[in-house]
Amino acid sequence: MADLVQHNITGGHPGETRRDFLILTATAIGAVGVAATIWPFIDSLNPARDTLALSTTELDLAPVQLGQRLTVAWRGKPIFIDHRTPEEIKAAEDVNLSDLRDPQPDSARVKKTEWLVIIGVCTHLGCIPLGQKTGDDRGPYGGWFCPCHGSIYDTSGRIRQGPAPANLVVPPYEFTGDTTIKIG
């Protein structure tokens, strides 16, 4: 009993002792220490600096004919570049936005209407849709068709049918000249 009374005098509230405070602070400091030790291990798994350094791709679009599609690699992923015909542009622009699963006007997806630049990775589970080569199945909307699970994209790379939740992603890019672009 004498011990308890003495501890209560040193602590603020009844029932709390200096030992409680010591345990709490020691545990908290310990937890911070453990977290700080674990972090370098976790962070080491993030993309390394040399991987990040490969992050821009530049190219000249002049040789790409009207109606031709070109695939280039950026960050190891295929980038689909489509020199769209006026009919394809019209088809992409005339779509009623309420028909779309991931509504986005065509104008928000291009910098110059005849050039569509998108990441050619299906937003479902990461397969590469067909439609880049002549003779490929482009699906009923004339865009791209993913053979893995049957997602269908239109001429603006927007999802129209199938399990994919979102449109093909537009990468960050800019026109550095009339026909030259820098992706990334």
Catalytic residue numbers?
149
Report if residue 77 touches another protein, rule: CB under 8 A. yes
147 sits near another protein (criterion: CB under 8 A): yes
Min CB(98)–another protein separation in Å: 19
Task: Extract the tokens encoding 170.
Answer: 């537009």
Contact mark string toward another protein, 10..49, x via CB under 8 A: -----------------------------------xxxx-
Beta carbon nearer to another protein, 91 or 121: 121
Segment 101-106 long-range contacts (CB within 8 Å, at least 24 positions apart)? 101/159, 101/160, 101/165, 101/166, 102/158, 102/159, 102/165, 102/166, 102/167, 104/156, 104/158, 104/167, 106/156
3-state SS assignment for residue 8:
helix
Q: By CB under 8 A, is residue 128 in contact with another protein?
A: yes
List all residues 6 or more positions away from 133 whose beta carbon is below 8 Å from its beta carbon: 69
Number of residues lying near another protein (CB under 8 A): 25
Give the bridge partners for 149, in sequence order: none
Binding site for another protein (CB under 8 A): 45-48, 51, 55, 71, 73, 75-78, 124-128, 146-150, 163-165
